[in-house]
Amino acid sequence: MRIGAPRHARTSRRWGLRSAAVWLLLSAAGWPQAHATASLDPALGKALFDRKWVAAPASTDTADGLGPLFNARSCAACHQGGGGTRFPATANGKAPDGIVVRLSGMEGQPHPVLGRQLQPLAVAGFAPEGRIFWDGSRVSFTLADPSLTAHAEVRSAPSLKTMRAIERVDEAAIVQAADPDDVNGDGISGRARMVDDGKGGQVAGRFGLKAAHATLDTQIADAFAFDMGLSSRFFPLPSGDCSEAEQQCRRGRSGASSATEGHEISTEMVALVADYLRTLKPARAPTAMPALFTTTGCAACHTPALPGSKGETVTLFSDLLLHDLGQENEGVVREADVSAAEWRTAPLVDLFADEGRRRYMHDGRAATLEEAIARHGGEAEKAAAAFRRLNRNDKDALLRFLSSL
């Protein structure tokens, strides 16, 4: 295939800003030349999202840099079709892609040797840190180095079909909905997670299970770095999650290239992936929301509609705030000022059970929607109890609505 930008793309004003690197990469990946200019950015982004990365050095300068340690070779491995973790219907073996085991030392900080998460895969010449298993209801893991111990918490890949909606929510609406001291006395004390805006200020975090990122770009760069070992301006270490104690890993071959700003992934490639994620939408139109969703107390956190930054209405079924969901949801990792039991209200999307391939909550431990509700403790305890008291008909009506989301 001819290497270079397609003729029609050269005429696009935005293309002028695009580096040739992305095109080189996709040409090498067998990217077809003919597609409409209007959808060029999301299409390029999707190709990067689906791309299986390889170790450096590869024949194409911009297609490499995976690892040395990694969790999966592509975004799509964990987020199939832009969705979340797909669990095997029955299993006794390897955990599905999409499951990440976060590790920590005694104080909830990243593990001194193994870093932020367990990497069960490594490029040739390097040893994986351990293995992750799935027995049909629980995730377990083993460490390759038996002399190490680690505290662990399981996180499952969420669906990415609400990224555009999350991005559109008005900043003030998030901050104003917070009630950290429960002044209104409803037992619910959500708080906005304030994170650096990269310009010396603070903004509300929105992305990630603990709202760690304010923008899609930094969330995506985080995934490139920690899940695949690919560096960018945002996370410049080419060896990704290798810790200082993992010296051999730190000396692994870098795929950094001048074509990608001296990193493995350019700022533009991150932006293209974000463009693609913005095109993803929930697959189905939900059925009408029953009043029960509000009267049972679900809507207090799973806010059905939020104001967008341009005055539009955003449907998300989340307030994007952190809530303490009690001991049953306590992990071990302390992210900055966030406690182990605090989680961002999960946007309700892609909830259809799909014969058990969809599981629920941050670690996928809940096999059914009813089990997910039962696992709501802490601030959501009252709502979970109200659900338990409903008669079977009302429960089923609420569950039917949820599975239509």
66 binds ligand HEC (CB under 6 A): no
Q: Is 33 buried (19+), middle (13-18) or exposed (0-12) by CB count in 10 A?
A: middle
Contact with ligand HEC (CB under 6 A): which of 120, 158, 229, 252? Answer: 158
Please count the other Cβ atoms lying within 10 Å of the Cβ belonging to residue 176. 10
Interface stretch with ligand HEC, choices 4-12, 17-25, 175-183, 213-221 (CB under 6 A): 213-221
Could you give the CA distance from residue 181 to residue 320 in angstroms, rounded to a whole number?
17
List phi, psi (to 5°) of 95. -65, 150
Could you give the CA distance from residue 255 to residue 262 in angstroms, rounded to a whole number?
9
161 binds ligand HEC (CB under 6 A): no
Give least dist CB 8 to ligand HEC, A: 27
Q: Is 345 within 8 Å of 301 (Cβ atoms)?
A: yes
72 binds ligand HEC (CB under 6 A): yes
Could you give the CA distance from residue 315 to residue 161 in angstroms, rounded to a whole number?
12
Interface stretch with ligand HEC, choices 24-32, 139-147, 279-287, 378-386 (CB under 6 A): 378-386
Please count the other Cβ atoms lying within 10 Å of the Cβ belonging to residue 125. 11
Q: Is 3 buried (19+), middle (13-18) or exposed (0-12) by CB count in 10 A?
A: exposed
Contact with ligand HEC (CB under 6 A): which of 22, 132, 157, 256? Answer: 157
Interface stretch with ligand HEC, choices 35-43, 68-76, 131-139, 243-251 (CB under 6 A): 68-76
Q: Return the residues of window 222-241 that contact ligand HEC according to CB under 6 A.
A: 223-224, 227-228
Q: Return the residues of window 344-363 that contact ligand HEC according to CB under 6 A.
A: 345-346, 348, 351, 360-362
Is the Cα torsion angle 145, 95, 360, 208 positive or negative in sign?
A: positive
Contact with ligand HEC (CB under 6 A): which of 23, 329, 338, 340? Answer: 329
Contact with ligand HEC (CB under 6 A): which of 297, 303, 341, 395? Answer: 297
* CA 21 to chain CA centroid, nearest Å: 26
- Both tokens of 385, joined, read 């109890």
Q: Rank residues 18 and 73 by Cβ distance to ligand HEC and give the closer one.
A: 73
Contacts with ligand HEC, residue ranges (CB under 6 A)? 49, 71-72, 75, 77-79, 97-98, 100, 155-158, 160, 163, 188, 207-210, 216, 219-220, 223-224, 227-228, 273, 277, 296-298, 300-302, 323, 325, 329, 343, 345-346, 348, 351, 360-362, 369, 372-373, 376, 379-380, 383, 387, 402
